[in-house]
Structure 1
Amino acid sequence: MAHTAIDLFCGAGGLSAGLEMAGFTVLAGNDLFEAAGKTFEATHPHAKFISGPIEELTIDHLLDVTGLKPGELTVLAGGPPCQAYSVYNHQRGMHDSRATLFREYLRIVDGLRPEWIVMENVTGIYSIGGGEAVAAIKEELAAIGYDVKEAVLRAEDFGVPQERRRVVFIGNRIGTPISHPEPTHGPGRAFPFTTIKDAIGDLPPLGNGEDRGRVAYKGGEATPYQRLLRGNATTVANHAAPRLGKVNMDRLPHIPPGGSWRDIPFDLLPAGMKRAKRSDHTKRYGRMTWDGLSCTVLTKCDIHWGAYIHPDQDRAISVREAARLQAFPDWFEFTGSRTDQYVQVGNAVPPLLGKAIGDHLKALIETRSQKAA
């Protein structure tokens, strides 16, 4: 019997892509971000994209478009918008309307009665009201019959070339013991971390602001990671450099690999950073290193925000490079404006992390089936 999934707050479909890599059939996705929906539709042709706010999503409509009955869905996945929980939002709290969107997710859980649920969010969720949000999620799921456990998963531990921490809730209503996937990458594990060079070293060089449309890969032998994400492709889309202004272009040549704003001559620093302590803003104007991991890919790969300068080219990373650092396959083409494309990439669950979660869920499901037999 096929393992099925529905993805709420699906965005461009990173978690869906990972679940599909693990063998799940994704039947539908819901989001109100129109550009992400177009990407989802193009990259998940067998799934139905339902546009609009989750508050307007009815159980009857979901059952109608998927052909399911309550209780038949294997897993309901979703990551309610994280702005209210993020450490980057210093006004976060349970009073923020976005922090209550998980209750809409719970409404869908109660109506669909999936066997399993997967819910993902930023680690900042732990600090709301001293853990109020986490406690509320678990209590409300328990009230409708779901046992839930959460754990912080590090994307780099599962082959993603990026330092990224996410809280992943896994639950079920069928009494199966719950656990989370075990790390596979890093020192002392089966595989080394995937480096930035492993991830983007085959993409052709770009000038500041250059957009050549679809481009061919660089020559030379591809790394296993590059081969995985290329598939059968010979060219790739979304590899265009954002245009930086002259003042930023004057700053970049002073920043070595692994360097940051501290390497910029004082007279070239932005006014606000001239007053900064040397211990502040450690990632701002950061240049990546080929043998390192990327910092967390955000919704803007803005050099003012973090280490988004290419390791050896004086420019910010392209949408495709950000997507590679998020473990998106190259056949994923992001639609909408370039700003929309960066948002879709930055908001996503890295597909390889989604695959690790999906593989682990399948193992738990199969163990239960074997015991039942």
Structure 2
Amino acid sequence: MALKALDLFCGMGGLSWGLKGTGVIEPLWAVDNSEPALALYKRNLPNTQVLNLDLSKLSNIKILFEKIQFHGGVDLVVGGSPCRGFTQIRNGQDTDSDPHNRLAIKFADIIRELNPLAFIYENVPQLENSRVFQRFLGRLKGRNSYRVAHAVVEAANFGNPSRRTRLFVLGIRCNVGRVPIIPKGLDIPHYHFWWQRDEQNGKIVYYPKLEEPWLARLVDPNDLQLVNVEQAISDLPILETKTPGNNCFYSTPPQSAYQKWARQHLQETDGHAVPRILPETRMRLKAVIPGGNWRDLPEPLTYKIPSDSTSGKLRRKHYSAYRRLLPEGHSPTVQGHADFAYHYQYERTLTPRELARLMGFTDDFRLGHEYCSVVQAIGNAVPPILAKAIAESLIRQLDDC
């Protein structure tokens, strides 16, 4: 069975990259209105017809319908509309009032019009508790259109080196006669992938929360279902200071099954850029152990100007401030800005290639030599490992019909 797919709100192509990895699904169409993200998509999926359209506008949706239907329709529609309206602090505002959230309804309307065999939708878990979600499901189920299932899954349960908890909604057309099932991988509760902070013999230590038998699998470099940070990125080039983006050879042979898989037989990769870092930031990072953050700074470094109490205390006191990765644990959820976490060994931000590795992209996904726009696109992406697992499950279900 070969399936033609349309990827809505495609971003840099995490979902499409995962779909293509199934060998069965071919992303024929992709839509977004972020030009930097679409540039990455086009570079890596050149056979896909990419449309720069703002789907909040009805005229653009009509253009999409005309193009898709003229070329024979699609079998599968996938996508995840912008989530910021659900994730930001609402201050009592109704999520229905955020224009970004209405794009979930647009997704459902497009499904109803194109009538594909199946669809895959993803977003943040908070969507599940919103009134928008009930309207979304109602559109999809109305007039016995689709049989629908939804579940929150954790990407780390599928071999992703970073945490990413997402809501997935799967639908299969009613005439197929099957209710979709959403896989959950190892199905370990998401909070078990966090780090533990303790004091032992007067020293602060960090370690993964995972218990046996999962912990033994996490530290096994040959296990592809539980992958830690070190197993994901330790073979990448050694960079310690500001570096313009360029291609580099790997620093070591593959140190884990994940690294061997990620390399895809390449000898060098791109995306090795490091921005400038302030001397005082480097000083603070030197004082923070792997897994730690601003809470572990000695008193003199908690002032805006180190050792100068008259300069006032640091304002950055959230959990991710000056946070360093824990090499033997999973990375926190990758975000679209450079300082969500710092390297566990070097006093610097992470490179785009390191972030892509933590998000489950193979090294043959070309990132180019930009920094900020690429980091933002990676932070907004769907981990291809997770996308592929969901898609392969759907393919098996359709084959069984």
Asked if these proteins are the same fold (TM beyond 0.5), I'd say yes
The yes-or-no answer on 1:20 pairing with 2:20 is: yes
Amino acid at match of 2:126: G
Match in the other structure for 1:233? 266
Match in the other structure for 1:298? 335
With over 3 angstroms needed to count, the CA separation of the structure-2 counterparts of 1:163 and 1:92, relative to structure 1, is farther
Shift of 1:125: 1.6
SS in 2 for 1:207: coil
Match in the other structure for 1:371? none
Decide which moves more: 84-93 or 196-205.
84-93
Decide which moves more: 316-325 or 238-247.
238-247
The yes-or-no answer on 1:215 pairing with 2:216 is: no
Match in the other structure for 2:147? 147
Map 1:11-160 to 2 at 5 A.
Answer: 11-23=11-23, 24-54=25-55, 55=57, 56-59=59-62, 61-62=64-65, 64=67, 68-70=71-73, 73-87=74-88, 93-127=95-129, 131-143=130-142, 145-160=145-160
SS in 2 for 1:85: helix
The yes-or-no answer on 1:266 pairing with 2:303 is: no
Q: Deviations over 1:316-358 (max 9, x none)?
A: 1111111100011111123584211011101000000000011
The yes-or-no answer on 1:242 pairing with 2:244 is: no
Q: Deviations over 1:120-168 (max 9, x none)?
A: 00112234xxx31221211121125122221011000001001110000
- Structure 1: distance between partners of 2:314 and 2:240: 31
Decide which moves more: 18-27 or 175-184.
175-184
Decide which moves more: 7-16 or 165-174.
165-174
Match in the other structure for 1:224? 257
Shift of 1:266: 3.0
Amino acid at match of 1:76: V
Higher strand share: 2
The TM-score, its normalising length taken from structure 1, stands at 0.88
Q: Deviations over 1:281-320 (max 9, x none)?
A: 2332111121110000011131xxx3x1101101111111
- Structure 2: distance between partners of 1:8 and 1:82: 14
Q: Is the 8 A contact 2:274 2:348 kept in 1?
A: yes
- Structure 2: distance between partners of 1:95 and 1:159: 37
Match in the other structure for 1:194? 227
Amino acid at match of 1:155: A
The TM-score, its normalising length taken from structure 2, stands at 0.83
Match in the other structure for 1:287? 324
Q: Is the 8 A contact 1:266 1:274 kept in 2?
A: no
Q: Is the 8 A contact 1:236 1:330 kept in 2?
A: yes
SS in 1 for 2:84: coil
Q: Is the 8 A contact 1:48 1:65 kept in 2?
A: no
- Structure 1: distance between partners of 2:96 and 2:303: 35
Match in the other structure for 1:183? 185
Identity of aligned residues (%): 29
Q: Is the 8 A contact 1:36 1:335 kept in 2?
A: no
Amino acid at match of 2:15: L
- Structure 2: distance between partners of 1:149 and 1:247: 50
Q: Is the 8 A contact 1:299 1:346 kept in 2?
A: yes
Amino acid at match of 2:156: E
Match in the other structure for 2:381? 348
SS in 2 for 1:329: coil
Shift of 1:243: 1.5
SS in 2 for 1:328: coil
Shift of 1:359: 0.5
Structure 2: which 5+ residue stretches go unaligned? 189-212, 218-222, 305-310
SS in 1 for 2:100: helix
With over 3 angstroms needed to count, the CA separation of the structure-2 counterparts of 1:58 and 1:281, relative to structure 1, is closer
- Structure 2: distance between partners of 1:152 and 1:49: 29
- Structure 2: distance between partners of 1:211 and 1:92: 44
Amino acid at match of 1:36: A
Shift of 1:19: 0.8
Amino acid at match of 2:263: R
Structure 1: which 5+ residue stretches go unaligned? 369-373
